[in-house]
Amino acid sequence: MASATYLSNPGVMINSVNLTDMCTSATVTNTIEALEATAFGSTSRSYVGGLASQEITLDLYMSYAATETYATLAALVGTVTTVKVASTDAALTTASATAPRFELEGCYLEALPVINATMGELSTISITFTGGVLSTIVA
């Protein structure tokens, strides 16, 4: 059995708007592109770090009510903004070493599903912010 686990309950803020209560999934991925540096004489492939390529993927309940999901995201398509995801909702404002916050500044929202409806189900959307500079806040 794992000695230390974390029950998923993050806080999510998009463009300063707290959408924690609309979010069901959040993934922050810190990627440094691998550039191949293998040369003749090598017996195995080797790589060096290239450009950072960040990504945040969120699943959200869709709502067209005032100041909800659609109102938050509609004007952000095709623009850059800042997205914050913290291990807890409280860490969105007060982070710590055991409750870090990840901030992606200058990330780009390429696409927004404006309708995603299935009979008998609550409407949800999945969006991805790419690029930008990722910071880890622990204090």
- Give the shortest CB-16-to-other proteins separation in angstroms: 5
- Give the shortest CB-67-to-other proteins separation in angstroms: 4
Contact, 99 vs 91, CB < 8 A? Answer: yes
- Give the shortest CB-101-to-other proteins separation in angstroms: 12
Residue 100 or 106: which CB sits closer to other proteins?
Answer: 106
- The DSSP annotation for 48-70 comes to EEEEE--EEEEEEE---STTSHH
Q: Which of 100, 109, 101, 111 is nearest to 131 (CA)?
A: 109
Q: Residue numbers of the site for other proteins (CB under 8 A)?
A: 15-19, 66-67, 71-72, 74-76, 79-82, 105-106, 132
Residue 16 or 42: which CB sits closer to other proteins?
Answer: 16
- Give the whole-angstrom CA distance, residue 115 versus residue 91: 31
- Give the shortest CB-82-to-other proteins separation in angstroms: 4
If one counts every other C-beta atom within 10 angstroms of the C-beta of residue 32, the result is 13
Residue 38 or 94: which CB sits closer to other proteins?
Answer: 94
